[in-house]
Amino acid sequence: MRIDKYLSNANFGSRSEIKKMIKQNMIELNGKIIKNGKEQIDLTKDIVKVNGKKISLETKRYLMLNKPQGVISATKDSSQPTVIDLISSKDKIKDLAPVGRLDKDTTGLLLLTNDGKLAHELLAPKKHVIKTYHALVSGIVDDSLIERFKNGITLKDGTNFKPAKLKILSINKENNTSKVSISISEGKYHQIKRMFKANQMTVLTLHRLSMGSLFLDNSLQPGAYRRLSSQEINILKNKK
Ligand code: URA
Protein backbone atom coordinates (compact mmCIF):
# COMPACT_ATOMS: atom_id res chain seq x y z
CA MET A 1 0.00 0.00 0.00
CA ARG A 2 1.17 3.57 -0.70
CA ILE A 3 2.45 5.25 2.44
CA ASP A 4 0.46 8.47 1.86
CA LYS A 5 -2.75 6.48 1.39
CA TYR A 6 -2.00 4.44 4.47
CA LEU A 7 -1.35 7.50 6.64
CA SER A 8 -4.45 9.34 5.52
CA ASN A 9 -6.59 6.22 6.06
CA ALA A 10 -5.08 5.95 9.54
CA ASN A 11 -6.27 9.51 10.22
CA PHE A 12 -2.89 11.25 10.24
CA GLY A 13 -4.29 13.90 7.91
CA SER A 14 -5.74 14.39 4.44
CA ARG A 15 -3.69 13.36 1.41
CA SER A 16 -2.54 16.98 0.94
CA GLU A 17 -1.62 17.31 4.63
CA ILE A 18 0.41 14.10 4.37
CA LYS A 19 2.11 15.55 1.28
CA LYS A 20 3.10 18.60 3.34
CA MET A 21 4.36 16.38 6.17
CA ILE A 22 6.52 14.50 3.66
CA LYS A 23 7.92 17.79 2.34
CA GLN A 24 8.72 18.79 5.90
CA ASN A 25 10.72 15.53 6.33
CA MET A 26 8.36 14.32 9.03
CA ILE A 27 7.82 10.79 7.70
CA GLU A 28 10.33 8.01 8.09
CA LEU A 29 10.23 4.53 6.58
CA ASN A 30 12.61 1.91 7.97
CA GLY A 31 14.98 4.56 9.26
CA LYS A 32 14.98 6.75 6.13
CA ILE A 33 13.15 10.03 5.64
CA ILE A 34 10.85 9.58 2.66
CA LYS A 35 10.50 12.12 -0.14
CA ASN A 36 7.66 10.52 -2.03
CA GLY A 37 4.17 9.52 -0.85
CA LYS A 38 4.06 6.81 -3.49
CA GLU A 39 6.54 4.67 -1.54
CA GLN A 40 5.00 1.27 -0.86
CA ILE A 41 4.81 -0.11 2.65
CA ASP A 42 4.47 -3.64 3.88
CA LEU A 43 2.11 -3.55 6.86
CA THR A 44 3.52 -6.78 8.26
CA LYS A 45 7.12 -5.69 8.69
CA ASP A 46 7.89 -2.05 7.86
CA ILE A 47 8.59 0.54 10.53
CA VAL A 48 7.00 3.92 9.96
CA LYS A 49 7.65 6.96 12.11
CA VAL A 50 5.69 10.20 12.06
CA ASN A 51 7.60 13.08 13.60
CA GLY A 52 10.04 10.62 15.13
CA LYS A 53 7.30 8.53 16.72
CA LYS A 54 6.83 4.94 15.68
CA ILE A 55 3.25 4.24 14.63
CA SER A 56 1.46 0.94 14.78
CA LEU A 57 0.67 -0.36 11.32
CA GLU A 58 -1.85 -2.83 12.55
CA THR A 59 -5.21 -1.33 11.75
CA LYS A 60 -8.40 -2.38 13.34
CA ARG A 61 -11.50 -1.14 11.66
CA TYR A 62 -14.95 -0.89 13.29
CA LEU A 63 -17.84 0.12 11.05
CA MET A 64 -21.49 0.64 11.83
CA LEU A 65 -23.70 -0.08 8.81
CA ASN A 66 -27.39 0.61 8.43
CA LYS A 67 -27.99 -2.57 6.48
CA PRO A 68 -30.55 -2.14 3.72
CA GLN A 69 -32.87 -4.90 2.47
CA GLY A 70 -31.59 -7.09 -0.37
CA VAL A 71 -27.97 -7.60 0.66
CA ILE A 72 -26.64 -10.63 2.46
CA SER A 73 -24.50 -10.61 5.61
CA ALA A 74 -21.51 -12.32 4.09
CA THR A 75 -18.09 -11.30 2.84
CA LYS A 76 -18.56 -12.70 -0.64
CA ASP A 77 -21.14 -14.45 -2.74
CA SER A 78 -21.14 -15.59 -6.35
CA SER A 79 -24.57 -14.19 -7.21
CA GLN A 80 -25.92 -11.87 -4.51
CA PRO A 81 -24.72 -8.47 -3.28
CA THR A 82 -23.13 -8.59 0.16
CA VAL A 83 -22.72 -5.99 2.89
CA ILE A 84 -19.02 -5.74 1.96
CA ASP A 85 -20.06 -4.36 -1.45
CA LEU A 86 -21.40 -1.30 0.43
CA ILE A 87 -18.00 -0.48 1.91
CA SER A 88 -15.67 1.91 0.09
CA SER A 89 -12.22 0.71 -0.93
CA LYS A 90 -10.47 2.78 1.75
CA ASP A 91 -12.35 0.94 4.50
CA LYS A 92 -12.43 -2.46 2.83
CA ILE A 93 -9.46 -3.86 4.63
CA LYS A 94 -8.32 -7.45 4.96
CA ASP A 95 -10.51 -9.71 7.13
CA LEU A 96 -13.32 -7.14 7.40
CA ALA A 97 -16.47 -9.16 8.11
CA PRO A 98 -19.94 -8.66 9.57
CA VAL A 99 -20.35 -9.52 13.24
CA GLY A 100 -23.06 -12.14 12.98
CA ARG A 101 -25.82 -12.13 10.43
CA LEU A 102 -28.99 -10.31 9.64
CA ASP A 103 -31.36 -11.94 7.15
CA LYS A 104 -31.38 -10.58 3.60
CA ASP A 105 -34.65 -8.73 4.25
CA THR A 106 -33.69 -7.46 7.74
CA THR A 107 -32.48 -3.88 8.01
CA GLY A 108 -30.57 -1.89 10.60
CA LEU A 109 -27.50 -2.09 12.77
CA LEU A 110 -24.73 -4.35 11.54
CA LEU A 111 -21.24 -4.05 12.93
CA LEU A 112 -18.35 -4.89 10.62
CA THR A 113 -14.84 -5.35 11.86
CA ASN A 114 -11.54 -7.11 11.26
CA ASP A 115 -11.16 -7.48 15.04
CA GLY A 116 -11.91 -11.19 15.23
CA LYS A 117 -11.48 -11.27 19.00
CA LEU A 118 -14.16 -8.66 19.63
CA ALA A 119 -16.48 -10.26 17.06
CA HIS A 120 -16.11 -13.59 18.80
CA GLU A 121 -16.87 -12.08 22.21
CA LEU A 122 -19.95 -10.26 20.96
CA LEU A 123 -21.30 -13.45 19.40
CA ALA A 124 -20.38 -15.92 22.14
CA PRO A 125 -23.68 -17.34 23.47
CA LYS A 126 -22.50 -17.16 27.09
CA LYS A 127 -21.92 -13.41 26.83
CA HIS A 128 -25.68 -12.83 26.35
CA VAL A 129 -25.25 -9.65 24.33
CA ILE A 130 -28.72 -8.15 24.01
CA LYS A 131 -29.93 -7.29 20.51
CA THR A 132 -32.99 -5.08 20.17
CA TYR A 133 -35.19 -4.94 17.08
CA HIS A 134 -38.34 -3.23 15.91
CA ALA A 135 -40.69 -5.52 14.05
CA LEU A 136 -43.97 -5.20 12.22
CA VAL A 137 -45.87 -8.44 12.63
CA SER A 138 -49.14 -9.83 11.34
CA GLY A 139 -51.79 -10.23 14.04
CA ILE A 140 -52.39 -8.54 17.35
CA VAL A 141 -49.78 -8.88 20.06
CA ASP A 142 -51.29 -9.20 23.52
CA ASP A 143 -50.15 -9.74 27.09
CA SER A 144 -50.27 -13.52 26.78
CA LEU A 145 -47.76 -13.41 23.92
CA ILE A 146 -45.54 -11.06 25.91
CA GLU A 147 -45.65 -13.59 28.74
CA ARG A 148 -44.83 -16.51 26.41
CA PHE A 149 -41.82 -14.64 25.02
CA LYS A 150 -40.77 -13.79 28.57
CA ASN A 151 -40.77 -17.49 29.51
CA GLY A 152 -38.82 -18.56 26.42
CA ILE A 153 -40.27 -20.29 23.38
CA THR A 154 -39.81 -23.97 22.55
CA LEU A 155 -40.47 -25.09 19.00
CA LYS A 156 -42.09 -28.41 18.06
CA ASP A 157 -38.66 -29.69 16.94
CA GLY A 158 -37.33 -29.05 20.46
CA THR A 159 -35.40 -25.84 19.65
CA ASN A 160 -35.33 -23.62 22.71
CA PHE A 161 -35.22 -19.84 22.56
CA LYS A 162 -34.18 -18.04 25.73
CA PRO A 163 -36.52 -15.47 27.34
CA ALA A 164 -37.11 -12.42 25.17
CA LYS A 165 -38.50 -9.02 26.06
CA LEU A 166 -41.45 -8.09 23.88
CA LYS A 167 -43.07 -4.65 24.04
CA ILE A 168 -46.02 -3.34 22.08
CA LEU A 169 -45.30 -0.07 20.27
CA SER A 170 -48.62 0.21 18.41
CA ILE A 171 -51.53 -1.89 17.22
CA ASN A 172 -53.35 -1.44 13.91
CA LYS A 173 -56.67 -3.25 14.24
CA GLU A 174 -57.75 -2.36 10.70
CA ASN A 175 -54.68 -3.99 9.13
CA ASN A 176 -54.46 -6.61 11.85
CA THR A 177 -50.79 -5.81 12.49
CA SER A 178 -48.67 -4.88 15.51
CA LYS A 179 -45.48 -2.90 15.85
CA VAL A 180 -43.27 -4.26 18.58
CA SER A 181 -39.86 -3.96 20.10
CA ILE A 182 -38.15 -7.25 20.84
CA SER A 183 -34.89 -7.89 22.70
CA ILE A 184 -33.12 -11.22 22.48
CA SER A 185 -29.85 -12.46 23.90
CA GLU A 186 -29.11 -15.11 21.28
CA GLY A 187 -28.59 -15.04 17.55
CA LYS A 188 -30.08 -18.27 16.26
CA TYR A 189 -30.97 -18.68 12.59
CA HIS A 190 -34.15 -16.69 11.73
CA GLN A 191 -34.74 -16.52 15.47
CA ILE A 192 -37.33 -13.76 15.71
CA LYS A 193 -39.24 -14.96 12.64
CA ARG A 194 -39.37 -18.48 14.09
CA MET A 195 -40.47 -17.22 17.50
CA PHE A 196 -43.44 -15.44 15.97
CA LYS A 197 -44.19 -18.28 13.56
CA ALA A 198 -44.45 -20.63 16.53
CA ASN A 199 -47.26 -18.34 17.66
CA GLN A 200 -49.01 -18.27 14.26
CA MET A 201 -47.73 -14.80 13.41
CA THR A 202 -45.53 -13.57 10.59
CA VAL A 203 -42.75 -11.00 10.79
CA LEU A 204 -43.39 -8.51 7.99
CA THR A 205 -40.41 -6.21 8.62
CA LEU A 206 -37.49 -6.44 10.99
CA HIS A 207 -35.02 -3.68 11.87
CA ARG A 208 -32.17 -3.94 14.38
CA LEU A 209 -31.60 -0.92 16.61
CA SER A 210 -28.89 -2.03 18.98
CA MET A 211 -26.37 -4.67 19.85
CA GLY A 212 -25.10 -4.58 23.41
CA SER A 213 -24.35 -0.96 24.15
CA LEU A 214 -23.98 0.02 20.50
CA PHE A 215 -26.94 1.86 19.00
CA LEU A 216 -27.61 2.49 15.34
CA ASP A 217 -26.86 6.10 14.43
CA ASN A 218 -30.22 7.19 13.05
CA SER A 219 -28.60 9.73 10.75
CA LEU A 220 -27.32 6.80 8.66
CA GLN A 221 -29.53 6.19 5.64
CA PRO A 222 -30.11 2.56 4.58
CA GLY A 223 -26.88 1.37 2.95
CA ALA A 224 -24.76 4.05 4.65
CA TYR A 225 -22.09 3.36 7.22
CA ARG A 226 -19.57 5.17 9.39
CA ARG A 227 -16.56 4.30 11.49
CA LEU A 228 -17.23 3.87 15.21
CA SER A 229 -15.86 6.60 17.44
CA SER A 230 -13.11 5.55 19.84
CA GLN A 231 -15.62 6.00 22.64
CA GLU A 232 -18.04 3.56 20.98
CA ILE A 233 -15.22 1.06 20.45
CA ASN A 234 -14.22 1.28 24.11
CA ILE A 235 -17.80 0.82 25.27
CA LEU A 236 -18.13 -2.30 23.11
CA LYS A 237 -14.83 -3.71 24.32
CA ASN A 238 -15.36 -3.03 27.98
CA LYS A 239 -19.02 -3.48 28.70
CA LYS A 240 -20.49 -5.35 25.71
N1 URA B 1 -34.11 -12.76 13.78
C2 URA B 1 -34.53 -13.03 12.52
O3 URA B 1 -35.48 -13.76 12.31
N4 URA B 1 -33.88 -12.45 11.51
C5 URA B 1 -32.84 -11.61 11.66
O6 URA B 1 -32.30 -11.09 10.68
C7 URA B 1 -32.42 -11.34 12.98
C8 URA B 1 -33.07 -11.92 14.03
Given CA atoms 10, 59, 44, 47 in this order, what sign does their dihedral have? positive
- Choosing from 46, 85, 103, 105, the catalytic residue is 103
pLDDT beyond 70 at 239: no
Eight-class DSSP state of 185: S
- For 107-144, write each residue's pLDDT tens digit: 999 999 999 999 999 998 888 899 999 999 999 999 99
Ligand 1 atom 7, closest CA: 102
Band the pLDDT of 58: cuts 50, 70, 90: low
Distance CA(139)–CA(197), nearest Å, equals 11
pLDDT beyond 90 at 43: no
Identify the three-state secondary structure at position 165. Answer: strand
CATH number for 130-211 (one of 3.40.50.720, 3.40.1260.20, 3.30.70.1560, 3.40.1350.10): it is 3.30.70.1560
Mean pLDDT score of the chain: 93
Q: What is the CATH number of domain 3-55?
A: 3.10.290.10
Ligand 1 atom 4, closest CA: 190
Distance 61 CA to ligand 1 centre (A): 25
- Which numbered atom of ligand 1 lies nearest the CA of 131? 8
Kindly report the length of the chain.
240
Whether 62-125+213-238 and 3-55 are alike in CATH topology: the answer is: no
Query: Is residue 161 within 8 Å of 196, Cβ to Cβ?
Result: no
Does the domain made of 62-125+213-238 have the CATH classification 3.30.70.580?
Answer: yes
Q: What angle is formed at CA 60 by the lines to CA 95 and CA 101, rounded to 5 degrees?
A: 50
Identify the three-state secondary structure at position 142. Answer: coil
pTM reported for the whole predicted model:
0.80
Domain ranges of the chain: 3-55, 62-125+213-238, 130-211
pLDDT at residue 240 in the model: 46
- Percent above pLDDT 70 for the chain: 98
Helices 230-238, 116-123: axis angle to 10 degrees equals 50
- Which numbered atom of ligand 1 lies nearest the CA of 203? 3
Query: Is residue 206 within 8 Å of 193, Cβ to Cβ?
Result: yes
Distance 115 CA to ligand 1 centre (A): 23
Adjacent-strand bridge partners of 55: 48
Q: Can 103 be counted among the known catalytic residues? A: yes
Distance 178 CA to ligand 1 centre (A): 17
Query: Is residue 182 within 8 Å of 166, Cβ to Cβ?
Result: yes
Distance 190 CA to ligand 1 centre (A): 5
Ligand 1 atom 2, closest CA: 190
- For 171-219, write each residue's pLDDT tens digit: 999 999 999 999 999 999 999 999 999 999 999 999 999 999 999 999 9
For a mutational test of ligand 1's pocket, the pick from 104, 105, 123, 133, i.e. the residue with the most ligand atoms closer than 8 A to its C-beta, is: 133
Distance 1 CA to ligand 1 centre (A): 38
What residue ranges line ligand 1, CB within 6 angstroms?
A: 102-103, 106, 190-193, 206
pLDDT beyond 60 at 60: yes
